[in-house]
């Protein structure tokens, strides 16, 4: 886990150090164990003209694997045998201009390559000589030399990396399939000339608002000054609370999947294919267990203390059960929540006792208002999921004991664990009848109540197209969004249904909700305390088997997470397997009423200013109505108010 950033210029202009300073200030918290820089300049003759390309990298390191030799930016061993470095001198300068080897490769990397030892052995058999002891970063360099653009096909891991190929004056940016590790890119083009900026943080790029040709960078008084409002983003954010369809709140930056930039006009930015079309394949329970066990085992390597988050639910409990087979001294962690209704610590303790894990129930001092402002400042974007707070609290508490933790992210999406997947079928089949459910049911009842869930289905039926399916976790309805905007809203987010609406919604979640909400939440909360979190359920072999498995095996008779529960039955007591899903929730709506942790004060302070959302304009009357309805207790607008609050915090931090 680290922070990366850099600048490429192909127009012959200099890279001002202030650009790197701006990026470094935003990524510094991601890597407390080291900082390194790299610069290079290449002159090429192209069609009779001399073209100059400059590159600069900056890296902040959180050391997890090969603590001594894994410093970055990492440079390839020189191609000339006479210049080959010794094992005592790894190719990893902490800063400065690159050596003169014409075939040099430089790399900065955030994440972990779980199969790096297998790849190292394979590459050594092909003649590659390694300078480090067991750095996964160096495996990427040699892998690029061997496989070029096909490198990603060989990787099992979570990663975001930038690679400089001097011989071809080529910058390669790459991010793992689901975006476990963030990577944002922004570029300015004038003819064949480019200025490209990239970073682990979107706001870092927004602060480079003078990233244009024939201009010199200046430190802006207001980091986001002059940036036009992204109105499409605003409406999608009010619907979902996270970035949708590769958009961010900043118009000028976008998440990068697979990008190549050179001094030639052939640069590409290619979308990653997360869920390629394949025929449905039946995978047995035994095969899934084998795949999960291998995924867990791969993610247990670290040169620092490692543990496992344990909630007492089936997802994390199964991971702990598999992990303890390979690591008998496994440490597990849960936090004691301040409200008994949301506290799972006793269930987690029961699982740990059954497994024989070294378990700790951690008491944490929470300050929700202060912590939320800190997290939004760290993320640099609005975020509408209040579970980012408990995720931060458990990460902060666990970081006192370990530097790496396993989590159960992805299990619900892959193995059909959400109620809304079953409801998707009802929405499509009974849309006309559901439209008659009273509008007042949406938002009036507690989010976990049956009436609330039916009210949500009614709103979805009214908002969705006849032959489409809406993202079923919309925060505001289309009618509420129109009231906030003072005009008609954009069409709702929807996708054309597959032969099974359950799989349609699941695949939409995998491509949007998982990376946009869940993985963003975990990365932000964990990196705020320099903790690396690994998700075994997102192993590529597990994902491939799950997305291609038919629903009659994944959820027979609408039995959610049937396969995981069946596997877990071999390791865990039945009462744990049968526990209703609780979720990592907090009573945020009550805190907005009773001012627990200064949350009501924070809410009113941010929503009562003249222009609470900066360049975004929302109707004051609609906001006042939401506040009054929530205060009365007749409606539960907790998630809607939280979504507006984080938008206001972001705007006022700018």
d(CA 441, CA 451): 6
The pLDDT value recorded for residue 147 is: 95
CA of residue 613 relative to chain centroid, distance: 24
Pairing of strands 306-309, 331-335: parallel
Structure tokens at 8: 């490429």
pLDDT digits (tens, 9 = 90+) for 215-256: 444 333 333 433 445 667 898 899 889 987 667 888 666 666
Helix (H, G, I), strand (E, B) or coil at 112: strand
Strand intervals (E) in 408-528: 469-470, 494-495
d(CA 243, CA 232): 11
Query: What is the CATH T-level fold of the domain 2-270, as seen in this structure?
Result: 3.60.20
Structure tokens at 285: 């329970």
CATH architecture of 285-364+384-415+514-577: 3-Layer(aba) Sandwich (3.40)
272 or 55, higher pLDDT:
55
d(CA 160, CA 112): 9
Q: In what order do the strands lie in the sheet with 74-75?
A: 74-75, 105-113, 157-165, 170-175, 258-262, 268-270
613 or 95, higher pLDDT:
613
Nearest Cα to Cα of residue 408 among 573, 574, 564, 179: 564
Q: Per-domain residue ranges for the chain? A: 2-270, 285-364+384-415+514-577, 419-497, 588-653
The pLDDT value recorded for residue 412 is: 95
If 0-12 CB within 10 Å is exposed, 13-18 middle and 19+ buried, where does residue 438 land?
A: exposed
92 or 584, higher pLDDT:
584
Mean pLDDT, range 351-359, rounded to an integer: 94
**Which DSSP symbol is given to 444?**
T
Q: What is this structure's pTM?
A: 0.89
Q: Is the pLDDT of residue 84 over 50?
A: no
CB proximity list for 570: less than 8 A, separation 6 or greater: 289
Query: Is the separation of the CB atoms in 259 and 500 below 8 Å?
Result: no
Helix (H, G, I), strand (E, B) or coil at 158: strand
Band (pLDDT 50/70/90 cuts) for residue 87 is very low
């Amino acid at each position: 886990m680290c922070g990366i950033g850099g600048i490429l210029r192909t127009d012959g202009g200099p890279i001002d150090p202030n650009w790197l300073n701006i990026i470094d200030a935003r990524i510094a918290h991601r890597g407390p164990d080291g900082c390194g820089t790299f610069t290079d300049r290449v002159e090429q003759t192209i069609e009779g003209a001399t073209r100059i390309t400059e590159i600069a990298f900056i890296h902040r390191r959180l050391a997890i694997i090969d603590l001594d030799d894994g410093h970055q930016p990492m440079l390839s061993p020189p191609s000339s045998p006479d210049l080959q470095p010794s094992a005592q001198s790894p190719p990893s300068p902490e800063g400065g201009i690159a050596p003169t080897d014409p075939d040099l490769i430089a790399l900065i990397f955030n994440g972990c390559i779980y199969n790096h030892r297998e790849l190292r052995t394979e590459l050594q058999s092909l003649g590659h000589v390694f300078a480090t002891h067991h750095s996964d970063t160096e495996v990427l360099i040699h892998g690029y030399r061997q496989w070029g653009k096909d490198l990603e096909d060989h990787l099992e891991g979570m990663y975001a990396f930038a690679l400089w190929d001097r011989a071809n004056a080529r910058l390669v940016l790459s991010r793992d399939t689901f975006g476990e590790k963030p990577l944002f890119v922004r570029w300015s083009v004038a003819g064949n000339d480019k200025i490209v900026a990239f970073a682990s943080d979107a706001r870092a790029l927004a602060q480079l608002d003078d990233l244009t040709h024939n201009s010199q960078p200046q430190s802006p008084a207001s980091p986001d000054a002059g940036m036009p409002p992204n109105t499409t983003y605003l409406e999608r954010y009010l619907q979902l609370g996270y970035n949708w369809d590769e958009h961010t709140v900043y118009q000028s930056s976008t998440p990068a999947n697979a990008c190549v930039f050179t001094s030639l006009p052939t640069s590409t930015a290619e979308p990653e294919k997360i869920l390629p079309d394949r025929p449905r394949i039946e995978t047995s329970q035994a095969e899934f267990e084998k795949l999960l066990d291998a995924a867990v085992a791969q993610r247990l390597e670290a040169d620092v203390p490692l543990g496992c988050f344990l909630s007492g639910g089936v997802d994390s409990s199964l991971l702990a059960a598999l992990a303890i087979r390979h690591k008998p001294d496994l440490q597990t962690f849960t936090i004691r929540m301040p409200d008994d209704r949301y506290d799972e610590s006793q269930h987690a303790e029961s699982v740990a006792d059954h497994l024989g894990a070294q378990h700790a129930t951690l008491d944490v001092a929470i300050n929700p208002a202060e912590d939320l402002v800190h997290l939004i400042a760290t993320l640099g974007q609005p975020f509408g999921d209040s579970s980012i707070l408990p995720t931060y609290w458990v990460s902060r508490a666990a970081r006192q004991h370990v530097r790496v933790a396993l989590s159960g992210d992805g299990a619900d999406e892959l193995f059909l664990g959400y109620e809304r997947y079953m409801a998707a079928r009802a929405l499509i089949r009974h849309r006309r009848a559901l439209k008659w459910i009273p509008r007042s049911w949406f938002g009036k009842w507690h989010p976990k109540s049956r009436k609330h869930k039916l009210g949500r289905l009614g709103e979805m039926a009214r908002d969705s197209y006849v032959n489409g399916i809406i993202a079923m976790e919309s925060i505001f309805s289309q009618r509420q969004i129109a009231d906030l905007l003072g005009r008609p809203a954009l069409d709702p987010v929807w996708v054309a249904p597959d032969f099974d609406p359950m799989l349609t919604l699941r695949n939409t979640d995998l491509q949007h909700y998982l990376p946009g909400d869940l993985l963003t939440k975990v990365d932000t909360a964990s990196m705020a305390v320099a903790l690396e979190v690994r998700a075994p359920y997102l192993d590529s072999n597990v994902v491939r088997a799950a997305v291609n498995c038919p629903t009659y095996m994944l959820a027979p008779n609408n039995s959610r997470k049937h396969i995981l529960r069946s596997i877990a039955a071999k390791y865990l007591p039945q009462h744990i397997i049968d526990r209703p899903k609780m979720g990592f929730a907090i009573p945020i709506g009550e805190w907005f009423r009773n001012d627990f942790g200064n949350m009501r004060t924070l809410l009113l302070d941010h929503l009562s200013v003249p222009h609470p959302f900066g360049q975004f304009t929302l109707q004051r009357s609609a906001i006042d109505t939401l506040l009054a309805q929530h205060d009365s207790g007749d409606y539960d607008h907790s998630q809607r108010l939280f979504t507006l609050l984080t938008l206001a915090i972001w705007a006022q931090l700018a």
